[in-house]
Amino acid sequence: MNRMFAIIEREMRKFLRSPTLMITAMIMPLVQLIILGNAFGGKIRDARIGIVDEDHGTQALRIERAFNSVEANVRTFVAVHYTDEMHARQDVRQGRLEGAVIIPAQFSRRVYEGENPHLGLVVDNSDQFLSSSLEDKMQELVTSLNMPDATAKRIPDQVALEIIELYPYVAYLKYLLPGSITLAMFVSVMIGGGLLYIDDKARGVHEGYLVTPITRLEMVLGLNLAGSFKAVLAGCTLTVLGSLIAGLGTSFQPARVLQWFLLICATSIAFNGMMFLLMVRVEDPLVPRAMFGILNTLLYFPSGAIYPVQAFPKWLQVISYVDPFSFAVHGLKATLLKDASWPAVTQDIAYLVLFGVVSTAISVPLFKRTL
């Protein structure tokens, strides 16, 4: 046991004497959280929409008032008035406008005569997100214009849907936080565990271990525990900083702190066990560097960290069901975003610990105690 602790002490001394690499590994996911969290998932605001009024009737005036209401409140649109449809189309094509609404001539008359008139919406559909957002908002506006006037009915004849949201609005910055924490821990394990292990072998450091009576189990446990300590430090640091940046004050409640700390510990055990199993027979120092991008894509993106798993094809969902990233992200979302109870995270913790223990157990007989 003392021999195992000696390995842990050596690895932690190396970390404390040269923390720049590990700090960089923690800063990169934090920067990604800030940039991606603010770049994606936001609502469209101040989109320039041209209005071509060829009718000048009372219903056209009603539409313009609806646009003014949207502009003054949610600010999805900024109305720009045009007198020529071709000019508005050209400005949409050249990027001066995001869209243009065409109110055709005789629109008001056709409304009063019940002829089901149409409004025209010209959009730049090269940007699918922007065009779909404008289309949805315009559809809401048209639906509100089609609402009949209030009547004196005492009993409504339509079924109404009342939406009850369990949680306050979750900004994409908050949604991305669990994935960023998990990514920081993976980068920490990759740099502070896998790469250092292979580099030590290439430098001949392990030859010094092999002349001692240390067992394979002690070697594997010592290296894994040292890597776990570094990953826990990275995970806790990013959780605290990320929660402060995202405005998640509930993360610091004692029960929540215990939940996410246990999840971070379980995740570090799983990641270190997985990485050691992958690297236990590797000799070439270039291999883990080449595998980094592949593992990042294979494990991080199918985890549901940046997009819901339910939207994946079946074959990709199979990967997410066994991916330790998925369980780490799910558990951290439950405790950081949903204030979930213990049963919501217990299964994630159990799977991560089991995954790490099994990976480590398989690594022990594969570990070569020879040159």
SS3 for 206-234 is: HHHHHCCCCCHHHHHHHHHHHHHHHHHHH
Q: How far apart are CA 226 and CA 138, in angstroms?
A: 57
55-84 residue pLDDT tens? 888 888 888 888 887 777 767 778 888 888
Q: Of 20-34, 71-85, 181-195, 236-250, where does the model show the most confidence? A: 236-250
Residue 268 pLDDT > 90: yes
Q: How confident is the model at residue 347 (pLDDT cuts 50, 70, 90)?
A: very high
Q: How far is CA 288 from the centre of its chain?
A: 25
pLDDT confidence of residue 149: 52
What does the pLDDT average to over 11-38?
66
Report the number of secondary-structure helices (H) and strands (E) in the chain: 15, 4
Residues in a beta bridge with 102: 52, 120
Helix, strand, coil percent values for the chain (each to nearest 5)? 70, 5, 25
pLDDT confidence of residue 152: 45
Q: Which two tokens stand for residue 348?
A: 């994630």
Percent above pLDDT 70 for the chain: 78
Residue 236 pLDDT > 60: yes
Task: Name which residue leads in pLDDT, 7 or 51.
Answer: 51
Contact 342, 258 (CB under 8 A): no
- The conformation of residue 43, written as its DSSP 8-state character, comes to P
Residue 144 pLDDT > 60: yes
What does the pLDDT average to over 98-122?
83
Contacts of 294 (CB under 8 A, 6+ apart): none
Q: Which two tokens stand for residue 69?
A: 């209401």
Residue 27 pLDDT > 90: no
Task: Please state, in angstroms and as integers, the Cα–Cα distance from residue 320 to each residue in 134, 178, 314, 359, following that order.
Answer: 33, 16, 10, 18
pLDDT confidence of residue 246: 84
Q: How confident is the model at residue 170 (pLDDT cuts 50, 70, 90)?
A: confident
Which has the closest alpha carbon to 134: 189, 78, 58, 65? 78
Q: How confident is the model at residue 302 (pLDDT cuts 50, 70, 90)?
A: confident
Map tokens 């594997």 to a residue: 220
Q: How confident is the model at residue 97 (pLDDT cuts 50, 70, 90)?
A: confident
